[in-house]
C-alpha cells in the first residue's frame, strides 16, 4: 500500500538547508555527522505534533548557534514562525567571559527563557533536549563519571542542575512520551550515588531513619545518611526536595545523592545556627506558646501555596496506595477507609506529608521545612493530622526520645497551635473531633514502616470512620 500523500515541502527544504549548514561537522565526541542530532530532534518532535513548521524548526534549531547562518536568513527562507522558534533555541553569548566562565549564566538564561516560552517553542526544545539526554545516557553507561571531562564544565552537579532546570521549564509537556523519557534518563544518569568518605564528616545527630553529619571543612554542607538497606527513600526525598525548593517553599537547598559504600543518603545546604521547633521547645518549654504560634504561621503559609499538580502526587492517591499495601486491615475495613479518603475535601495546595515540630527549623531570620520525602498536595487536614498525632497520641518515652520534651509540653503545644492556625474563636474540641481520623490515617505509614500493628490507632481510625 503506498504511503499517504503529505505536503512535506517545508520540512524537505529545512532538511536540505540544515544538511548544507552543518556539512563537514561532527557531533562532538561521536564520530558521526552533526546533522544526525537535529534529525533526531525532529523525529522526537514528530511524536508530539505533525506541525511542519515545528518539525522544520527542530531540524534547523542549531544552525544559528553553530554555523554562520543568522536568524534573519532563516526568517527570509522559512518565515517568521520558524525563525522565532529557532531563535528561542539559540544560546546567548556573554562576550566578556570564556565559554567555561559563562556556562552557568548562559544555561540559567536558557532555562528562564524556556520557562517563559510559548508551547510551540517548548515542543521544539523537547526534541533538542531529549536528543542530548539520550546521548549523555548512552555515553554515561560506557564511560561513567569520566564522561564529564569532555565538556567545557566538568562538574557533574552543574550538568544535573542544568537538566533538572530544563525538565522543570518543560513540565508543561508532562504526559508526553518524550517528556517522560527525558525525566527517566535524567534520573538514570544523575541518580547514581556519588561516593563520599565519611571521615570527612562529623556526626551531628540521630533521626528516625538515619543520622546527620556536618562536613568538617565546608560549613555549607551537611549529610543525611539513611540506615543500611534504604536506597530509594533518600532518592525520593532528594527528588521532591528539588521540586519544592524550585517552587520557592523555604527549605535548605538540596545537593546530591551519595553513598559511603554501605548507606545511601543526600547532601544538603547546612543552615548555621538552626534549631528545630522540637529542640527549641525542649530547651525552653516556657516559650511553647510562642513557638506554636510561629510554627502555625509557617503551616498556614505552606497550606496556602498552590502547586503544579502534574508534578506531585495527590495526598489521597498516596493514602489509597498505602492502604492497599497495608497488611493489618481486613478487606471490609480497607473499603470503608478508602471511602472516607475519597470523600475527604480536595485542594491543590502544598502538603508537607510528615508535618510535625521536628521537621521545621529556624534561625534568627529564616524558617525552613525539612524532611520532604512525603511532600504532595491536598487538603491541609491530612497534614494537621500528623501535628495532632505528634502532640497528643505518642507514648511518653517516644516523645521524650524523639522530640526532647514530655507529653504534657507536647499537648500544650497543640493547645496553643489550634487558635494560632484556625483562629482564636475556633472550638478546640470540634477541631480535635474532626482531626483525629486524619491522625489515624497516618498509621497507614507508621504501620507500613514498622511492620507491626498499632491497635490503639487502628481502633481510633475504625471508631471515627465507622
Catalytic residue list = 65-66
Distance CA 32, CA 348 (A): 48
**Dihedral class, residue 307 (left if φ above 0, else alpha if ψ from -120 to 50, else beta):** beta
Rounded CA-CA distance 166/109 in Å is: 11
Quote the Cα angle for 447-453-457, to 5°: 80
Q: Is the dihedral of CA 153, 159, 165, 169 positive or negative?
A: positive
Q: How many CB atoms lie within 10 A of CB 344?
A: 18
Q: Which of 162, 163, 164, 130 shows the shortest CA–CA distance to 58? A: 130
CA dihedral 121, 124, 130, 131 (to 10 degrees): -140
Q: Are strands 254-259 and 194-195 parallel, antiparallel or unpaired?
A: parallel
Nearest CA-CA partner of 444 in 340, 359, 337, 358: 337
Ramachandran class of 453: left when φ > 0, alpha when ψ lies in -120 to 50, beta otherwise: beta
- Provide φ and ψ at 397, rounded to 5°: -65, -40
Distance CA 261, CA 248 (A): 33
Q: Which H or E run contains 369? A: strand 367-369
How far, in Å, CA of 354 to CA of 356, rounded? 6
In the 3-class helix/strand/coil scheme, how is 149-192 assigned residue by residue?
A: HHCCCCCHHHHHHHHHHHHHHCHHHCCCHHHHHHHHHHHHHHCC
Distance (Å, whole) CA 182 – CA 134: 8
Beta strands 264-269 and 194-195, pairing class: unpaired
Angle value at C-alpha 334, between 333 and 335, nearest 5 degrees: 90
Helix (H, G, I), strand (E, B) or coil at 374: coil
Amino acid at each position: 500500500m503506498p504511503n499517504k500523500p503529505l505536503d512535506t515541502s517545508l520540512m524537505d527544504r529545512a532538511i536540505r538547508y540544515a544538511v548544507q549548514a552543518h556539512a563537514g561537522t561532527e557531533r562532538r565526541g561521536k564520530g558521526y555527522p552533526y546533522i544526525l542530532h537535529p534529525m533526531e530532534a525532529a523525529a522526537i518532535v514528530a511524536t508530539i505534533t505533525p506541525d511542519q513548521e515545528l518539525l522544520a524548526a527542530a531540524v534547523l534549531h542549531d544552525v544559528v548557534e553553530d554555523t554562520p547562518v543568522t536568524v534573519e536568513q532563516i526568517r527570509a527562507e522559512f518565515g517568521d514562525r520558524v525563525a522565532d522558534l529557532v531563535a528561542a533555541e539559540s544560546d546567548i553569548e556573554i562576550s566578556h567571559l570564556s565559554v567555561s566562565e559563562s556556562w552557568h549564566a548562559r544555561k540559567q538564561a536558557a532555562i528562564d527563557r524556556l520557562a517563559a516560552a510559548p508551547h510551540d517553542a517548548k515542543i521544539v526544545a523537547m526534541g533538542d533536549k531529549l536528543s542530548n539526554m539520550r546521548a549523555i545516557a548512552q555515553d554515561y553507561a560506557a564511560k561513567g563519571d569520566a564522561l564529564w571531562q569532555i565538556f567545557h564544565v566538568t562538574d557533574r552537579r552543574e550538568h544535573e542542575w542544568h537538566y533538572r532546570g530544563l525538565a522543570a521549564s518543560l513540565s508543561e509537556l508532562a504526559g508526553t512520551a518524550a517528556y517522560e523519557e527525558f525525566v527517566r534518563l535524567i534520573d538514570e544518569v544523575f541518580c547514581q550515588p556519588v561516593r563520599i568518605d565519611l571521615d570527612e564528616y562529623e556526626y551531628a545527630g540521630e533521626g528516625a531513619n538515619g543520622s546527620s553529619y556536618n562536613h568538617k571543612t565546608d560549613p555549607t554542607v551537611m549529610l543525611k545518611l539513611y540506615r543500611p538497606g534504604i536506597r530509594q527513600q533518600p532518592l525520593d526525598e532528594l527528588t521532591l526536595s528539588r521540586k519544592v525548593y524550585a517552587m520557592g517553599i523555604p527549605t535548605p537547598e538540596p545537593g546530591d545523592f551519595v553513598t559511603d559504600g554501605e548507606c545511601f543518603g543526600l547532601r544538603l545546604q547546612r543552615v548555621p545556627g538552626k534549631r528545630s521547633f522540637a529542640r527549641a521547645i525542649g530547651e525552653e518549654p516556657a516559650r511553647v506558646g510562642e513557638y506554636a504560634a510561629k510554627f502555625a504561621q509557617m503551616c498556614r503559609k505552606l497550606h496556602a501555596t498552590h502547586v503544579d499538580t502534574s508534578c506531585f502526587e495527590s495526598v489521597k492517591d498516596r493514602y489509597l496506595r498505602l492502604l492497599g499495601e497495608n497488611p493489618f486491615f481486613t478487606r471490609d475495613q480497607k473499603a470503608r477507609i478508602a471511602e472516607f479518603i475519597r470523600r475527604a475535601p480536595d485542594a491543590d495546595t502544598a502538603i508537607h506529608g510528615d508535618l510535625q515540630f521536628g521537621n521545621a527549623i529556624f534561625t534568627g531570620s529564616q524558617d525552613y521545612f525539612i524532611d520532604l520525602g512525603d511532600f504532595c498536595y491536598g487538603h491541609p487536614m491530612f497534614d494537621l493530622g500528623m501535628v495532632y498525632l505528634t502532640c497528643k497520641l505518642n507514648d511518653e518515652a517516644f516523645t521524650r526520645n524523639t522530640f526532647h520534651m514530655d507529653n504534657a509540653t507536647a499537648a500544650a503545644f497543640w493547645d496553643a497551635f489550634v487558635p494560632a492556625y484556625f483562629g482564636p474563636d475556633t472550638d478546640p474540641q470540634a477541631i480535635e473531633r474532626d482531626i483525629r481520623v486524619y491522625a489515624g490515617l497516618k498509621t497507614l505509614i507508621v504501620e507500613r514502616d514498622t511492620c507491626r500493628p498499632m491497635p490503639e490507632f487502628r481502633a481510633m481510625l475504625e471508631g471515627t470512620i465507622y
